[in-house]
Amino acid sequence: MNTFTPMLFNSLQFLIFFGFVTCAYFALPHRARWLLLLLSSCYFYMAFVPEYILILFFTILIDFSAGHLIARSSGKKRKMWLIISIISNVGILAFFKYFNFLNTSLTGLLGLLHAGNPIPALQIILPIGLSFHTFQAMSYTIEVYRGNQQPEKHFGIYALYVMFYPQLVAGPIERPQNLLPQFREKHTYDSMRIRSGLMKMAWGFFKKVVIADRLAAVVDECYGNVAHHNGLTMWVAVFFYAFQIYCDFSGYSDIALGAARIMGFHLMTNFNAPYLSRSLNEFWKRWHISLSSWFKDYLYIPLGGSRGNWLKHVRNLLIIFCISGLWHGANWTFVIWGLFHAVYLLAEMLSGKLFPRLKLPSPIRVSITFLAVSLLWIFFRAHTVVQAFEVFAKLSEISLAQSVSLAMQTKELIFCVLLIAGLMLKERFLKNIALENRWVFYSVFGGLVLCCYLFGIYDQKQFIYFQF
């Protein structure tokens, strides 16, 4: 099977592709636009493993049919069609993402019993964005089942709902009620909207190529050779990773939102200054909002949510975070990451019940939450559970006598810290820029583009969430 590099947002190829699609979108009459978007989304998706488009269309066909069958049926049949749709979606996800993980775990288990595993590992490449578009497709059939969404009559429009290129490979995971009607709306040229979209895109590029990819150099160096670095350097890497993953993923989301907005589509907000959260509970309302709300609406609440006794609530949280961990990656590190989040959330709830009057000042609560989230990211970044514990061991070796020892020069390290400080200040105090004023727009947009050119890193680094 021939693989190609996916079309990265931070590449010239994407910029030209985006320019073509957007211009052609406004040049074409409204009735032909869905076809343009669908064909360009296919081209975008096929840049990685072209053959996988067949699998994607297979699931699209199943869910499209299931939607109609659910709407037409009643009683048990209705449920049966929903289950068939979910099984086919989850089945494909499980095969591509979890087969080798489960098989390796089985090999380890059998090894403990001194037995061999007869099932060979498969040489499979994970389809890009599989977890994202599978969840988006599932939300369609579930919403049709719940009666919140009429089944889509137009196969092409439904396919576009699953494949819309700005959010195809890393979200936001959209809901049919929000996205599907927008494909029928006639979007005209609106300079204010285009400015707003361009600004969103420029800010996303800045976060990705200027901040995330620069921090990645430190993070990769430290995680690539944990034993080689002292405790203080490892702490720097841990905090840098927290900002790297945030800028990487929210940068992607900003580009996606901006690209869609320019054409007139409003995708849901995926991040809302998560590192300013005062608790982990609040963090999950601000981080990857489209996924958190997906889990809440389609899993947590159907399981009973926080209703019922405390034990049920604990069970539900553990299930949700365990699955959330697995959704991110087929590795025990992600499962542990999810579990620890659940445990921390439970501890937060417990402390709230035990000490209802204890209210720490906001800055302290924000700092504690950020520290906890950063430490938990270690499991997310580490290649293995053993390596994660190696990192924790390193962190415990910190002493005043140590200095940061990296290939990166001190000046660049300070630049990284300034970037992070600037990012946090912007998130805290400058949510929106007055785009009505043309000069403000041109100055800020031009400044961001110039910074991306001068300080951006262009080594075609993939977005972290592309692997999920």
Partner 1 sequence: MKRIVFSVFAFIFLALLIISNNKEWMLRISDYRFASHSECLDPHKHGDLYSMCYMQKYKEPIAEPAFRKYNSARRNTDLYIMHDSYLQNRLSSTNFKGIDSLQQIDYRGGPSTIRLDSGKTSVLIIETAQRYARWRLQNPFYYINQLHIAGKEKSGTETAPPTASDADTSSWLNDLKGIVYNPNINSNLEYNLFDYSLFSPLRGWKSSLTNFLFGKPDNRLVISTDKQYLMLKETVDTAQNTGIYNHLAESELDSLTAHMQQIRLHFIQAGFKEVWFSVIPNTVTVVDSTYLPQHPGNGLMYKLKNKTGNLHIPYIDVYSLFIKQADKMYKHGDSHWSPAGKQIWIDEVNARIF
Give residues in contact with partner 1 (CB under 8 A). Answer: 2, 4-5, 11-13, 16-17, 19-20, 23-24, 26-27, 43, 46-47, 50, 189, 213-214, 217, 220-225, 227-228, 405, 407-409, 411-412, 415, 453-455, 457-460
- Which residue in 313, 328, 341, 383 is the catalytic one? 328
Min. distance of Cβ 9 from partner 1 in angstroms?
Answer: 12
Q: How many CB atoms lie within 10 A of CB 317?
A: 21
- How far is CA 211 from each of CA 277, 409, 434, 448, rounded to the nearest angstrom? 21, 16, 24, 12
Which helix H or strand E contains 244, and what residues bound it?
helix 231-263
Is the Cβ of residue 178 or residue 384 nearer to partner 1 in the bound state?
384
> Between 143 and 213, whose beta carbon lies closer to partner 1?
213
Burial class of residue 345, CB neighbours in 10 A (0-12, 13-18, 19+):
buried
As a whole number of angstroms, the distance between CA 380 and CA 62 comes to 33
CA distance 170 to 57: 18
Q: Pick the closer one to partner 1 by CB: 12 or 358.
A: 12
Query: Alpha helices, DSSP H only, in 28-74?
Result: 30-46, 52-72
Nearest approach, Cβ of residue 173 and partner 1 (Å): 27
Q: Based on CB atoms, which residue is closest to partner 1, 212 or 339? A: 212
Give 46 or 444: the residue with its C-beta nearer to partner 1.
46
Distance CA(235)–CA(405), nearest Å, equals 12
Q: How far is CA 367 from CA 68, 370, 420, in A?
A: 49, 5, 15
Is the distance from CB of 142 to CB of 19 less than 8 angstroms?
no
**Rg of the chain over all Cα atoms, to the nearest angstrom:** 23
**Distance, CA of 234 to CA of 394 (rounded, Å):** 7
Cβ atoms of 49 and 126 closer than 8 Å: no
Q: Indicate the angle between helix axes 30-46 and 12-27, nearest 10 degrees.
A: 160
Which H/E stretch holds residue 370? helix 362-381
Minimal distance, residue 196 CB to partner 1, in Å = 19
State yes or no: is 328 an active-site residue.
yes
Residue 254 C-beta: closest distance to partner 1, Å: 22
Q: How far is the CB of 123 from partner 1 (least distance, A)?
A: 11
Nearer to partner 1, 346 or 417 (CB): 417
Minimum distance from residue 12 beta carbon to partner 1 (Å):
4
CB of 154 to partner 1, least distance (A): 24
Tokens of 131: 């977890």
Half-sphere exposure of 455 toward its Cβ, with a 13 Å CA cutoff? Answer: 18
* Catalytic positions: 328
